[in-house]
Amino acid sequence: MTQPVLDIQQLHLSFPGFNGDVHALNNVSLQINRSEIVGLVGESGSGKSVTAMLIMRLLPTGSYCVHRGQISLLGEDVLNAREKQLRQWRGARVAMIFQEPMTALNPTRRIGLQMMDVIRHHQPISRREARAKAIALLEEMQIPDAVEVMSRYPFELSGGMRQRVMIALAFSCEPQLIIADEPTTALDVTV
């Protein structure tokens, strides 16, 4: 049997609160294999986004407590990984398309620079090659005038355009796993 891309086993997580711990995840187990599409379904507040953020290790350090369980990404322990290792994994092994791209994109940097930084962080290519790849990804996401969009700031784009930029960023380093937060409510369905 092949190794799963993502393997979550009996995960229990809580957030400390004034009146005791708030149990956000209780015995979550999930396995995702290559080429598989999996949806987490649950009511608001059931822990879907918390699970996604924990897989990416994007929850603020010290803001949560994992009581039990494990998360493996391509056989490697996510919960005990060092920050340097996580930075290498994010984008290259696992990427996330956030529900609100305006908060995920840096408002002070042009779209092209943000995309090129991500691409060059994970691939040993020149600025020219990274720029060409970024433009090709934007065009693949059906963004009109991709070259012009490269020079724009996130606030200069519509919400749908920002979503497409986030999708292009998620695919830019060809990760093994892509996590889409709230894909049925906020993501651009035309792509």
pLDDT, tens only, 3-60: 999 999 999 999 999 999 999 999 999 999 999 999 998 898 899 999 999 999 999 9
For residue 162, is it within any domain?
yes
As a whole number of angstroms, the distance between CA 87 and CA 118 comes to 11
Q: Does the pLDDT of residue 183 top 90, yes or no?
A: no
For residue 92, is it within any domain?
no
User: Domain residues for 106?
Assistant: 101-180
- In the prediction, which pLDDT does 187 show? 52
pTM of the model: 0.85
Q: What is the residue-averaged pLDDT of the chain?
A: 92
Could you give the number of structural domains in the chain? Answer: 2
Determine which of 83-87, 123-127, 176-180, 187-191 has the lowest per-residue pLDDT on average. Answer: 187-191
Q: Looking at the structure, tell me whether residues 106 and 74 fall in a common domain.
A: no
Backbone angles phi, psi at 27, to 5 degrees: 60, 50
Query: Which of 81, 111, 130 marks a domain boundary?
Result: 81
